[in-house]
Amino acid sequence: MPAHRILIRDADVVLPDQVLQTNVLVEGTQIAAIDASRQHSADEVIEGRGLTLMPGVVDDQVHFREPGATHKEDIGSGSVACASGGVTTFLEMPNTQPTATSVAALQWKYDRAAKTSRVNYGFYIGATADNVDALQQAHFAPGIKIFIGSSTGDLLVDEQAALERIFAETTLPICAHCEDETTVRRNRAALGENLTTADHSRIRTAEAALIATQRAIALARKYSHRFHVLHVSTAIEVPEVRDGNPLITSEVCPHHLFFSTEDYATLGTLVQMNPSVKSPDDARLLWQALLAGDIQVVATDHAPHLLEEKGVPYPASPSGIPAVENSLALMLNQFNLGRCSLTQIASWMCDAPARVWDLVGKGRIAVGYDADLVLVDTQLERTIENSTQRTRARWSPWAGQTLKGWPIRTLVRGQTVFQNGQVSEDAHGSAVVCDHQRGGYWATPNGVGT
Protein backbone atom coordinates (compact mmCIF):
# COMPACT_ATOMS: atom_id res chain seq x y z
CA MET A 1 0.00 0.00 0.00
CA PRO A 2 1.51 3.39 -0.98
CA ALA A 3 2.57 5.65 1.87
CA HIS A 4 0.23 8.51 2.75
CA ARG A 5 1.58 11.70 1.20
CA ILE A 6 1.15 15.17 2.70
CA LEU A 7 2.17 18.37 0.92
CA ILE A 8 2.72 21.35 3.22
CA ARG A 9 2.53 24.27 0.82
CA ASP A 10 3.93 27.81 0.88
CA ALA A 11 4.99 27.79 4.54
CA ASP A 12 8.01 29.63 5.92
CA VAL A 13 10.16 26.57 6.62
CA VAL A 14 12.79 26.76 9.36
CA LEU A 15 15.85 24.92 8.07
CA PRO A 16 19.12 24.57 10.03
CA ASP A 17 20.68 27.64 8.38
CA GLN A 18 17.78 29.70 6.98
CA VAL A 19 14.04 30.31 6.84
CA LEU A 20 12.75 29.61 3.33
CA GLN A 21 9.22 29.91 1.96
CA THR A 22 8.76 26.59 0.22
CA ASN A 23 6.85 23.32 0.08
CA VAL A 24 7.61 20.21 2.11
CA LEU A 25 6.50 16.74 1.02
CA VAL A 26 5.93 14.04 3.61
CA GLU A 27 5.66 10.39 2.57
CA GLY A 28 4.50 8.08 5.32
CA THR A 29 6.58 8.82 8.42
CA GLN A 30 9.41 10.76 6.79
CA ILE A 31 10.22 13.98 4.98
CA ALA A 32 10.56 13.10 1.31
CA ALA A 33 11.33 16.46 -0.28
CA ILE A 34 11.99 20.10 0.49
CA ASP A 35 11.21 22.70 -2.17
CA ALA A 36 8.77 20.24 -3.75
CA SER A 37 6.49 21.43 -6.55
CA ARG A 38 3.32 23.16 -5.41
CA GLN A 39 1.47 20.81 -7.75
CA HIS A 40 3.03 17.64 -6.42
CA SER A 41 0.43 14.91 -6.06
CA ALA A 42 -0.52 14.28 -2.44
CA ASP A 43 -3.26 12.66 -0.42
CA GLU A 44 -3.50 15.74 1.80
CA VAL A 45 -2.52 19.35 1.26
CA ILE A 46 -1.84 21.64 4.21
CA GLU A 47 -1.91 25.30 3.25
CA GLY A 48 0.96 26.96 5.10
CA ARG A 49 0.93 30.49 3.66
CA GLY A 50 1.38 32.98 6.48
CA LEU A 51 2.46 30.19 8.83
CA THR A 52 5.87 28.86 9.87
CA LEU A 53 6.88 25.20 9.74
CA MET A 54 9.38 24.17 12.39
CA PRO A 55 10.91 20.86 13.43
CA GLY A 56 9.05 19.30 16.32
CA VAL A 57 10.52 20.24 19.70
CA VAL A 58 12.68 17.66 21.47
CA ASP A 59 12.33 18.24 25.22
CA ASP A 60 15.15 16.27 26.80
CA GLN A 61 14.12 16.82 30.42
CA VAL A 62 10.62 16.05 31.67
CA HIS A 63 9.15 14.33 34.73
CA PHE A 64 5.86 12.60 33.92
CA ARG A 65 5.45 10.97 37.38
CA GLU A 66 4.56 7.48 36.18
CA PRO A 67 4.68 5.16 37.99
CA GLY A 68 3.96 6.34 41.51
CA ALA A 69 2.50 9.86 41.38
CA THR A 70 0.05 9.81 38.51
CA HIS A 71 -2.32 12.19 40.27
CA LYS A 72 0.18 14.89 39.17
CA GLU A 73 0.88 13.58 35.65
CA ASP A 74 1.33 10.37 33.73
CA ILE A 75 2.92 9.50 30.41
CA GLY A 76 -0.37 9.86 28.56
CA SER A 77 -1.36 13.24 30.01
CA GLY A 78 2.18 14.56 29.69
CA SER A 79 2.26 13.55 26.04
CA VAL A 80 -1.03 15.39 25.43
CA ALA A 81 0.55 18.53 26.89
CA CYS A 82 3.56 17.94 24.65
CA ALA A 83 1.47 17.62 21.49
CA SER A 84 -0.45 20.82 22.20
CA GLY A 85 2.80 22.69 22.76
CA GLY A 86 4.61 21.51 19.64
CA VAL A 87 6.79 18.99 21.47
CA THR A 88 7.04 15.84 19.35
CA THR A 89 9.65 13.98 21.41
CA PHE A 90 10.30 13.85 25.14
CA LEU A 91 13.02 12.22 27.20
CA GLU A 92 11.80 11.44 30.71
CA MET A 93 13.71 11.28 33.97
CA PRO A 94 14.06 8.24 36.27
CA ASN A 95 12.93 9.66 39.64
CA THR A 96 9.56 7.95 39.65
CA GLN A 97 8.22 5.56 42.30
CA PRO A 98 9.79 3.06 41.93
CA THR A 99 12.81 4.61 40.32
CA ALA A 100 13.93 3.57 36.84
CA THR A 101 17.27 2.21 37.99
CA SER A 102 17.04 -1.30 36.52
CA VAL A 103 16.58 -2.50 32.97
CA ALA A 104 13.24 -4.05 33.93
CA ALA A 105 11.93 -0.79 35.42
CA LEU A 106 13.13 1.10 32.35
CA GLN A 107 11.47 -1.37 30.01
CA TRP A 108 8.20 -0.96 31.92
CA LYS A 109 8.19 2.73 31.01
CA TYR A 110 8.83 2.02 27.34
CA ASP A 111 6.05 -0.55 27.29
CA ARG A 112 3.66 1.85 28.99
CA ALA A 113 4.52 4.70 26.62
CA ALA A 114 3.93 2.45 23.61
CA LYS A 115 0.31 2.19 24.74
CA THR A 116 -0.38 5.73 25.96
CA SER A 117 2.02 8.33 24.51
CA ARG A 118 0.77 10.55 21.68
CA VAL A 119 4.33 11.69 20.87
CA ASN A 120 7.77 10.09 20.62
CA TYR A 121 9.49 9.05 23.82
CA GLY A 122 12.69 7.95 25.49
CA PHE A 123 13.60 7.28 29.10
CA TYR A 124 16.86 7.76 30.99
CA ILE A 125 18.11 5.12 33.36
CA GLY A 126 18.95 6.45 36.82
CA ALA A 127 22.30 5.94 38.47
CA THR A 128 22.68 4.76 42.05
CA ALA A 129 25.75 4.01 44.11
CA ASP A 130 25.61 0.34 43.12
CA ASN A 131 23.82 -0.23 39.80
CA VAL A 132 26.66 0.03 37.28
CA ASP A 133 25.71 -3.38 35.85
CA ALA A 134 22.26 -2.05 34.92
CA LEU A 135 23.76 1.13 33.46
CA GLN A 136 25.97 -1.02 31.23
CA GLN A 137 23.00 -3.05 29.96
CA ALA A 138 20.57 -0.21 29.15
CA HIS A 139 21.74 0.21 25.55
CA PHE A 140 18.34 1.44 24.34
CA ALA A 141 18.25 4.42 26.73
CA PRO A 142 19.32 7.88 25.52
CA GLY A 143 21.53 8.29 28.57
CA ILE A 144 22.22 8.00 32.28
CA LYS A 145 20.88 10.48 34.84
CA ILE A 146 22.76 11.20 38.06
CA PHE A 147 21.45 13.32 40.91
CA ILE A 148 24.63 14.82 42.37
CA GLY A 149 22.82 16.20 45.39
CA SER A 150 19.25 17.39 45.75
CA SER A 151 17.33 14.17 45.48
CA THR A 152 16.01 11.51 47.80
CA GLY A 153 16.57 7.82 48.39
CA ASP A 154 19.02 5.81 46.32
CA LEU A 155 19.09 8.31 43.43
CA LEU A 156 21.34 10.64 45.40
CA VAL A 157 24.90 9.80 44.36
CA ASP A 158 27.28 11.97 46.33
CA GLU A 159 30.23 9.73 47.20
CA GLN A 160 33.26 10.24 44.99
CA ALA A 161 34.06 6.53 44.61
CA ALA A 162 30.57 5.80 43.26
CA LEU A 163 30.71 8.73 40.85
CA GLU A 164 34.13 7.67 39.61
CA ARG A 165 32.86 4.17 38.88
CA ILE A 166 29.85 5.44 36.93
CA PHE A 167 31.97 7.70 34.73
CA ALA A 168 34.72 5.10 34.32
CA GLU A 169 32.69 1.95 33.66
CA THR A 170 29.73 3.05 31.51
CA THR A 171 29.42 4.20 27.91
CA LEU A 172 26.04 5.93 27.61
CA PRO A 173 26.12 9.74 27.71
CA ILE A 174 25.58 11.07 31.23
CA CYS A 175 23.55 14.02 32.46
CA ALA A 176 23.26 15.27 36.00
CA HIS A 177 21.37 17.46 38.40
CA CYS A 178 24.23 19.47 39.88
CA GLU A 179 23.74 20.97 43.34
CA ASP A 180 26.29 20.16 46.03
CA GLU A 181 24.49 18.38 48.85
CA THR A 182 26.97 19.41 51.54
CA THR A 183 26.62 23.08 50.64
CA VAL A 184 22.82 22.87 50.50
CA ARG A 185 22.61 21.24 53.93
CA ARG A 186 25.04 23.72 55.46
CA ASN A 187 23.06 26.67 54.09
CA ARG A 188 19.83 25.18 55.38
CA ALA A 189 21.22 24.72 58.86
CA ALA A 190 22.56 28.28 58.97
CA LEU A 191 19.12 29.78 58.27
CA GLY A 192 17.43 28.13 61.22
CA GLU A 193 13.63 28.11 61.49
CA ASN A 194 10.84 30.42 60.25
CA LEU A 195 11.86 30.13 56.63
CA THR A 196 10.17 31.97 53.76
CA THR A 197 9.97 30.86 50.15
CA ALA A 198 12.70 33.34 49.21
CA ASP A 199 15.05 31.37 51.46
CA HIS A 200 14.96 28.60 48.88
CA SER A 201 17.50 30.53 46.80
CA ARG A 202 19.60 31.19 49.89
CA ILE A 203 19.74 27.46 50.52
CA ARG A 204 20.24 26.32 46.93
CA THR A 205 22.82 28.93 46.05
CA ALA A 206 24.86 29.61 42.96
CA GLU A 207 27.87 28.21 44.78
CA ALA A 208 26.09 24.90 45.42
CA ALA A 209 25.39 24.58 41.70
CA LEU A 210 28.93 25.57 40.72
CA ILE A 211 30.64 23.07 43.04
CA ALA A 212 28.65 20.12 41.72
CA THR A 213 29.00 21.21 38.08
CA GLN A 214 32.76 21.54 38.44
CA ARG A 215 32.93 18.14 40.09
CA ALA A 216 30.99 16.41 37.34
CA ILE A 217 32.86 18.10 34.51
CA ALA A 218 36.17 17.11 36.10
CA LEU A 219 35.03 13.47 36.07
CA ALA A 220 33.90 13.72 32.44
CA ARG A 221 37.30 15.05 31.44
CA LYS A 222 39.17 12.49 33.53
CA TYR A 223 37.35 9.55 31.96
CA SER A 224 36.69 11.09 28.49
CA HIS A 225 32.98 10.59 29.01
CA ARG A 226 30.27 12.64 27.31
CA PHE A 227 28.43 14.75 29.87
CA HIS A 228 25.43 17.09 29.65
CA VAL A 229 24.87 19.71 32.36
CA LEU A 230 21.15 19.97 33.05
CA HIS A 231 19.35 23.22 33.91
CA VAL A 232 22.27 25.65 34.23
CA SER A 233 20.85 28.23 36.62
CA THR A 234 23.62 30.69 37.39
CA ALA A 235 26.10 32.79 35.48
CA ILE A 236 29.09 31.43 37.38
CA GLU A 237 28.50 28.00 35.81
CA VAL A 238 28.84 29.38 32.28
CA PRO A 239 32.68 29.47 32.18
CA GLU A 240 32.67 25.80 33.15
CA VAL A 241 30.52 24.77 30.19
CA ARG A 242 31.82 27.07 27.45
CA ASP A 243 35.47 26.04 27.16
CA GLY A 244 34.87 24.18 23.91
CA ASN A 245 35.49 20.70 25.30
CA PRO A 246 33.58 18.43 22.88
CA LEU A 247 32.63 16.12 25.73
CA ILE A 248 30.59 18.82 27.49
CA THR A 249 27.19 20.21 26.53
CA SER A 250 24.61 22.07 28.61
CA GLU A 251 21.11 23.43 28.74
CA VAL A 252 18.99 26.14 30.31
CA CYS A 253 15.30 26.11 31.22
CA PRO A 254 12.70 28.80 30.53
CA HIS A 255 12.12 29.37 34.24
CA HIS A 256 15.77 30.31 34.76
CA LEU A 257 15.58 32.68 31.78
CA PHE A 258 12.26 34.32 32.64
CA PHE A 259 12.05 34.22 36.46
CA SER A 260 14.36 35.42 39.21
CA THR A 261 14.46 35.88 42.96
CA GLU A 262 12.36 39.02 42.48
CA ASP A 263 9.38 36.82 41.54
CA TYR A 264 9.09 35.19 44.96
CA ALA A 265 7.23 38.28 46.16
CA THR A 266 4.32 37.69 43.76
CA LEU A 267 4.49 34.00 42.87
CA GLY A 268 5.87 32.44 46.05
CA THR A 269 6.15 28.66 45.82
CA LEU A 270 4.97 28.70 42.20
CA VAL A 271 8.55 29.57 41.27
CA GLN A 272 10.09 27.20 43.80
CA MET A 273 12.26 24.76 41.88
CA ASN A 274 15.55 22.89 42.01
CA PRO A 275 17.96 24.38 41.09
CA SER A 276 16.45 27.54 42.49
CA VAL A 277 15.85 30.72 40.53
CA LYS A 278 18.74 33.11 40.88
CA SER A 279 19.23 36.87 40.54
CA PRO A 280 18.00 39.02 37.63
CA ASP A 281 21.63 39.37 36.57
CA ASP A 282 21.95 35.59 36.39
CA ALA A 283 18.89 35.39 34.11
CA ARG A 284 20.30 38.13 31.87
CA LEU A 285 23.72 36.48 31.64
CA LEU A 286 22.21 33.06 30.94
CA TRP A 287 20.45 34.64 27.96
CA GLN A 288 23.77 36.02 26.78
CA ALA A 289 25.38 32.59 27.12
CA LEU A 290 22.57 30.97 25.14
CA LEU A 291 22.83 33.54 22.35
CA ALA A 292 26.61 33.17 22.28
CA GLY A 293 26.40 29.38 21.89
CA ASP A 294 27.98 28.67 25.26
CA ILE A 295 24.76 26.81 26.20
CA GLN A 296 23.33 24.60 23.45
CA VAL A 297 19.88 23.41 24.57
CA VAL A 298 16.63 24.83 25.93
CA ALA A 299 14.57 22.21 27.82
CA THR A 300 11.79 22.53 30.37
CA ASP A 301 12.47 20.27 33.37
CA HIS A 302 8.66 19.90 33.38
CA ALA A 303 7.99 18.77 36.96
CA PRO A 304 4.29 19.09 37.81
CA HIS A 305 2.67 19.20 41.25
CA LEU A 306 -0.93 20.00 42.04
CA LEU A 307 -1.71 23.57 43.06
CA GLU A 308 -2.83 22.44 46.50
CA GLU A 309 0.54 20.72 46.95
CA LYS A 310 2.40 23.85 45.90
CA GLY A 311 0.22 25.84 48.31
CA VAL A 312 1.63 24.11 51.39
CA PRO A 313 3.79 26.60 53.35
CA TYR A 314 7.51 26.52 52.60
CA PRO A 315 9.65 24.45 53.16
CA ALA A 316 7.10 21.61 53.03
CA SER A 317 6.04 22.72 49.53
CA PRO A 318 7.48 20.65 46.65
CA SER A 319 9.87 22.05 44.06
CA GLY A 320 9.04 21.99 40.36
CA ILE A 321 6.73 23.54 37.79
CA PRO A 322 4.79 22.41 34.68
CA ALA A 323 6.15 23.95 31.49
CA VAL A 324 6.12 21.58 28.53
CA GLU A 325 3.04 22.93 26.74
CA ASN A 326 4.13 26.59 26.91
CA SER A 327 7.87 26.39 26.27
CA LEU A 328 7.77 26.87 22.49
CA ALA A 329 5.31 29.76 22.80
CA LEU A 330 7.55 31.39 25.41
CA MET A 331 10.46 31.28 22.99
CA LEU A 332 8.38 32.38 19.98
CA ASN A 333 7.35 35.38 22.04
CA GLN A 334 11.03 36.20 22.46
CA PHE A 335 11.43 35.99 18.69
CA ASN A 336 8.63 38.52 18.32
CA LEU A 337 10.39 40.77 20.83
CA GLY A 338 13.50 40.66 18.63
CA ARG A 339 15.58 38.73 21.14
CA CYS A 340 16.36 35.69 18.99
CA SER A 341 15.71 34.19 15.56
CA LEU A 342 13.56 31.27 14.47
CA THR A 343 16.65 29.32 13.43
CA GLN A 344 18.11 29.81 16.90
CA ILE A 345 14.94 28.52 18.53
CA ALA A 346 14.96 25.49 16.23
CA SER A 347 18.58 24.85 17.10
CA TRP A 348 18.11 25.17 20.88
CA MET A 349 14.86 23.24 21.17
CA CYS A 350 14.95 20.75 18.29
CA ASP A 351 18.27 20.08 16.59
CA ALA A 352 20.70 20.45 19.49
CA PRO A 353 18.95 18.08 21.92
CA ALA A 354 18.55 15.50 19.14
CA ARG A 355 22.28 15.66 18.47
CA VAL A 356 23.28 15.66 22.14
CA TRP A 357 21.39 12.39 22.67
CA ASP A 358 22.11 10.85 19.22
CA LEU A 359 18.43 10.64 18.25
CA VAL A 360 18.13 9.21 14.76
CA GLY A 361 15.93 11.21 12.39
CA LYS A 362 14.95 13.89 14.89
CA GLY A 363 15.40 17.62 15.31
CA ARG A 364 15.43 19.18 11.87
CA ILE A 365 13.57 19.54 8.62
CA ALA A 366 15.67 17.55 6.17
CA VAL A 367 15.09 14.81 3.62
CA GLY A 368 15.05 11.41 5.28
CA TYR A 369 14.29 12.79 8.73
CA ASP A 370 11.13 11.83 10.57
CA ALA A 371 8.12 14.02 9.81
CA ASP A 372 7.98 15.42 13.35
CA LEU A 373 6.76 18.91 12.53
CA VAL A 374 4.94 21.83 14.11
CA LEU A 375 3.11 24.52 12.21
CA VAL A 376 3.12 27.78 14.14
CA ASP A 377 1.40 31.10 13.77
CA THR A 378 4.03 33.60 14.84
CA GLN A 379 1.41 36.38 14.96
CA LEU A 380 -1.19 34.59 17.08
CA GLU A 381 -1.63 36.12 20.54
CA ARG A 382 -2.99 34.04 23.38
CA THR A 383 -3.11 34.42 27.15
CA ILE A 384 -2.01 31.47 29.26
CA GLU A 385 -4.84 30.35 31.54
CA ASN A 386 -4.76 27.66 34.19
CA SER A 387 -8.15 26.34 33.13
CA THR A 388 -6.95 25.46 29.63
CA GLN A 389 -3.71 23.73 30.57
CA ARG A 390 -3.59 20.13 29.41
CA THR A 391 -1.07 18.96 31.98
CA ARG A 392 -2.86 17.09 34.76
CA ALA A 393 -1.56 19.69 37.22
CA ARG A 394 -3.75 22.29 35.43
CA TRP A 395 -1.72 25.39 36.21
CA SER A 396 1.21 27.41 34.92
CA PRO A 397 3.51 29.93 36.62
CA TRP A 398 3.04 32.02 33.45
CA ALA A 399 -0.75 32.17 33.87
CA GLY A 400 -2.04 35.62 32.92
CA GLN A 401 0.79 36.34 30.49
CA THR A 402 -0.09 37.01 26.86
CA LEU A 403 2.36 35.52 24.39
CA LYS A 404 2.68 36.14 20.66
CA GLY A 405 3.43 33.03 18.61
CA TRP A 406 1.75 29.65 19.16
CA PRO A 407 1.74 26.17 17.64
CA ILE A 408 -1.49 25.40 15.79
CA ARG A 409 -0.79 21.95 14.33
CA THR A 410 1.61 19.20 15.41
CA LEU A 411 2.61 16.17 13.34
CA VAL A 412 4.41 13.14 14.78
CA ARG A 413 5.96 10.87 12.16
CA GLY A 414 3.51 12.21 9.60
CA GLN A 415 0.32 11.90 11.63
CA THR A 416 -1.50 14.94 12.94
CA VAL A 417 -1.70 14.74 16.73
CA PHE A 418 -2.81 18.30 17.47
CA GLN A 419 -4.99 20.64 15.41
CA ASN A 420 -7.69 23.22 16.09
CA GLY A 421 -7.02 23.05 19.79
CA GLN A 422 -7.65 19.31 19.98
CA VAL A 423 -5.29 16.38 20.55
CA SER A 424 -6.02 13.23 18.55
CA GLU A 425 -7.21 10.25 20.57
CA ASP A 426 -5.84 7.87 17.92
CA ALA A 427 -2.29 9.18 17.60
CA HIS A 428 0.67 7.21 18.94
CA GLY A 429 4.33 8.09 19.17
CA SER A 430 7.31 5.78 18.87
CA ALA A 431 10.36 5.04 20.94
CA VAL A 432 13.39 7.08 19.90
CA VAL A 433 16.31 5.29 18.31
CA CYS A 434 19.71 6.33 19.65
CA ASP A 435 22.87 5.82 17.63
CA HIS A 436 25.52 6.48 20.23
CA GLN A 437 28.30 5.86 17.72
CA ARG A 438 27.52 9.25 16.17
CA GLY A 439 29.42 11.15 18.80
CA GLY A 440 26.86 13.67 20.02
CA TYR A 441 26.37 17.38 19.48
CA TRP A 442 29.91 18.24 18.48
CA ALA A 443 30.04 15.55 15.78
CA THR A 444 28.02 17.87 13.52
CA PRO A 445 29.67 21.28 13.86
CA ASN A 446 27.66 24.47 13.28
CA GLY A 447 24.44 22.48 13.22
CA VAL A 448 25.15 21.15 9.72
CA GLY A 449 25.05 17.48 8.78
CA THR A 450 23.30 14.43 10.18
Residue 20, H or E segment: strand 19-27
Cα angle 224, 230, 236 (rounded to 5 degrees) comes to 90
Known catalytic membership, residue 301? yes
d(C-alpha 5, C-alpha 30), whole Å: 10
Q: Which of 60, 74, 199, 301 is catalytic?
A: 301
Q: Closest by alpha carbon to 261, among 240, 276, 248?
A: 276
Is the Cβ–Cβ distance between 72 and 393 less than 8 Å?
yes
Q: Distance between CA 125 and CA 109 in Å, rounded?
A: 10
Q: What count of other Cβ atoms lies within 10 Å of the Cβ of residue 344? A: 19
Q: Is 327 exposed, middle or buried (0-12, 13-18, 19+ CB in 10 A)?
A: buried
User: What distance in Å separates the CA atoms of residue 181 and residue 267, rounded to the nearest whole number?
Assistant: 26
> What value does the CA radius of gyration of the chain take, rounded to a whole number of Å?
21
Distance of CA 194 to the CA centre of its chain: 35
CA distance 438 to 197: 44
Amino acid, single-letter form, for residue 387: S
Q: Decide if 66 contacts 74 (C-beta within 8 A).
A: yes
The whole-angstrom separation of Cα 267 and Cα 375 is 32
Q: Phi and psi at residue 80, in whole multiples of 5°?
A: -65, -45
Is 353:124 a contact under the CB 8 Å cutoff?
A: no
Residues labelled catalytic? 301
